[in-house]
Amino acid sequence: MLLLVGLGNPGARYAQTRHNAGFRVVDRVAERAGVPIEKKLFGALVGEVDVAGRKVILVQPQQFMNVSGQSVASLMGFYKLERASVVVAHDDMDLPFGRLRLREGGGHGGHNGIRDIQRLCGGNDFPRLRVGVGRPPEGWDPADYVLGSWSPAETRELDTVLDRAADAFESIARDGLARAMNLYNLAEGSAPAAGAPAPLRRSA
């Protein structure tokens, strides 16, 4: 079993912001499977899908970003999972817009959601699916930037980015993190290596 945790802030005010990129990745995985994310469990909305025979719990914590770890820690305990089975999708200002980076562990990089998960889940060795949102223009406050809406140019490309992110997660579930990293940690603009993702379907 895997948890796919998308980080974001709840509510319509934040739905179209860069900081909710993790939520959008989880939404895209759920859309492909035709599964709603609507069950309430430990302060999160959850859904359940099957990827290549592997059960995946989709998670969107409904507290604000800086307390995301509360739901994640509770769900890990409920499902009796180790940190290696928790994949966290989140926005990353250190990557150009649209660049994906899969990583096993690492620091929080100033991301408050990641920081809280590390604090409450006992370590930093959980896989990350980082979605690049780019750096703010000179003079912009970083918090204002990530809490701002996607630009028109970004919006035109966002569906493609989210599809690649969903493909990358499917690769983790199907092939393991190391293989997925080889396929998707590519230079900007590169296409993933051959190998179609496994279809998603509603879990029984």
**Measuring CA to CA, how many Å separate 105 from each of 22, 48, 49, 80, 150?**
17, 24, 24, 20, 27
Q: CA-CA distance, 142 to 172, in Å (whole number)?
A: 30
| pLDDT in the model for residue 193 | 44
pLDDT per residue as tens digits for the range 153-165: 999 999 999 999 9
What is the band of 191 on the pLDDT scale with cuts at 50, 70, 90?
very low
Q: Say how far apart CA 34 and CA 200 lie, in whole Å.
A: 9
Q: Give, in order, the Cα–Cα distances in Å from 40 to each of 34, 36, 49, 98, 203.
A: 18, 12, 16, 30, 17
Taking only the tens place, the pLDDT of each residue in 13-23 is 999 999 999 99
Indicate which residue of 19, 90, 108, 111 is catalytic: 19
**What are the Cα distances from residue 139, in Å, to 95, 110, 136, 151?**
19, 18, 8, 17
19 catalytic, yes or no? yes
Q: Which domains does the chain have, with CATH numbers?
A: 2-202 (3.40.50.1470)
pLDDT averaged over every residue in the chain: 89
Confidence of residue 123 (pLDDT cuts 50, 70, 90): confident
Residue pLDDT, tens place only, 89-108 = 999 999 999 999 999 977 77
Of the pLDDT bands very low, low, confident and very high (cuts 50, 70, 90), residue 190 is very low
Residue 112's pLDDT band, with cuts at 50, 70 and 90, is confident
Q: Residue 160 corresponds to which tokens in the numbers above?
A: 């493609």
Give dist(CA 157, CA 185) in Å, integer.
19
